[in-house]
Amino acid sequence: MMTKKLHVHTVINGEEVEFLCEPRQSLLEVLRDTLGLTGSKEGCNNGNCGACNVILDGSLVNSCLVLAVEVEGRSVVTIEGIAGPEGLHPIQQKFLEHAALQCGFCTPGFIVAAKALLDQNPNPSEEEVRHWLSGNLCRCTGYDKIVRAVLDTAQVMALQSTKR
């Protein structure tokens, strides 16, 4: 049985977007099935794995636990919005250089989470990185290379900002 759909206006990755959705649909579901933004993944659908991470009004959240209707008037950044017109974001580049991914399924969630971390704390310690990333599960890497990639990114971005 379908309820009447609601019309939602939002900003996704800097672009104005509108869509129709049922109230019960999560943001994750709408991103993937309605908007074709399949970069955010479903790993558990209840906030325990972080594969669905997006940044909502500057805060890192599990999009599986946000209803699509809740982003009315808000701003969402997904993995698709991390790279810029010039190319990969330093986080993405460092993930590749450090081989911080194997199957790559958790990678979008980690990259979004890492971006949120570095936005808030540009110079985290290893412990702070691990603590922040504890909401993202990886089963392939054992986290070692992911943590190294994030720490290296912080260094690189710090250098870049001192150059400007």
Partner 1 sequence: MSAEKTGDSTLSKEHNPTYQVIGTRPIRQDGTDKVTGRAQFGADIHLPGMLFGAVLRSPHAHARILSIDTSQAETVPGVRAVVTGADLADLEDKVTELGEGTINLRHQSWNTLARQKVLYYGHPVAAVSASSPHIAEEALALIEVTYEVLEPVLEVCAAMHPNAPLLIEDMYTDELGQKSEKPSNVAAHYQTRIGDVEKGFESATVIVEKEFRTSMVHQGYIEPQNGTALYNPDGQLTIWCSTQGSFGVRDQVSEILQIPVSKIKVVPMEIGGGFGGKNPVYLEPLAALLSKKSGYQPVKMTMSRSDVLAATGPTSGSYIHIKLGADSDGKLTAVEATMLYEAGAFPGSPVGSGMGVMFGPYKIENVLIDGYDVLVNKPRTAAYRAPGGTNAAYAAEVMIDMLSEKFGMDPLEFRQLNGVKNGDRSTFGATYQRIGYQETLEAARKHPHYSAPLEKANSGRGVASGFWFNYGGKSSASASLNPDGTVSLIEGSVDIGGSRTSIAMQLAEGLGISVDDVRPFVGDTDSVGYTEGTYGSRTTFATGWAAYEVSQKLIKQLVERAAKLWEVHPEEISYQNGGFSIGEKHMSLKELAGKLDETGGPIMASATVRPGEYGPGFATHIVDVEVDPETGKVTILRYTAVQDVGKAIYPDYVEGQIQGGVAQGVGWALNEEYMYDPQGKLTNTNLLDYRMPVALDLPMIDTVMVEVANPGHPYGVRGVGEVPIVPPAGALANAIYQAVGVRLNSLPMSPGQILEALQAEKD
Partner 2 sequence: MQSLDYLSVRSIEETLAPLSNGKRHVKILSGGTDLLVQLREGITQADLIIDVKNVPELVEVTFNSAEGLRIGAAAPCSQICHNAAVLEHYPGLVDAFSLIGGVQIQNRASIGGNLCNASPAADAIPALIVHQAVCVISSPMGERRVPVEQFCTAPGKTVLRPDELLVSVHIPPPRHNFGAHYQRFIPRNEMDIAVVGAGASVTLDEEGNTFQSARLALAAVAPTPLFIPEVGEFLAGKGVSSETIEQAALIARAAARPISDLRGTAEQRKKLSAVLAKRTLEKAVERARV
How open is the CA angle 74-40-160, to the nearest 5 degrees?
75
Is position 92 an interface residue for partner 1 (rule: CB under 8 A)? yes
Note whether 63 and 28 are within 8 A (CB): yes
Our CB check for partner 2 shows the closer of 47 and 122 to be 47
Note whether 27 and 68 are within 8 A (CB): yes
Note whether 111 and 160 are within 8 A (CB): no
Query: Contacts with partner 1 in 5-64 (CB under 8 A)?
Result: 22, 24-25, 32-33, 36-46, 48-49, 51
Q: CA–CA distance from 42 to each of 33, 77, 91, 106, 158 (Å)?
A: 12, 17, 22, 10, 33
Residue 111 interacting partner from partner 1, partner 2, none (CB closer than 5 to 8 Å by kind): partner 1
Is position 156 an interface residue for partner 1 (rule: CB under 8 A)? no
Residue 104 interacting partner from partner 2, partner 1, none (CB closer than 5 to 8 Å by kind): partner 1
Give min distance, CB of 14 to partner 1, in A. Answer: 16
How open is the CA angle 116-154-133, to the nearest 5 degrees?
45
One residue of 12, 31, 37, 69 binding partner 2 per CB under 8 A? 69
Give min distance, CB of 79 to partner 1, in A. Answer: 4
Is position 103 an interface residue for partner 1 (rule: CB under 8 A)? yes
Give min distance, CB of 96 to partner 2, in A. Answer: 24
Cα–Cα distance, 37 to 79 (Å, whole number): 9
Is position 42 an interface residue for partner 2 (rule: CB under 8 A)? no
Cα–Cα distance, 80 to 116 (Å, whole number): 14
| Sites of contact with partner 2 (CB under 8 A) | 1-3, 6, 22-24, 26, 45-48, 50, 53, 56, 59-62, 64-67, 69-70, 72, 113, 116-117, 131-132, 134-136
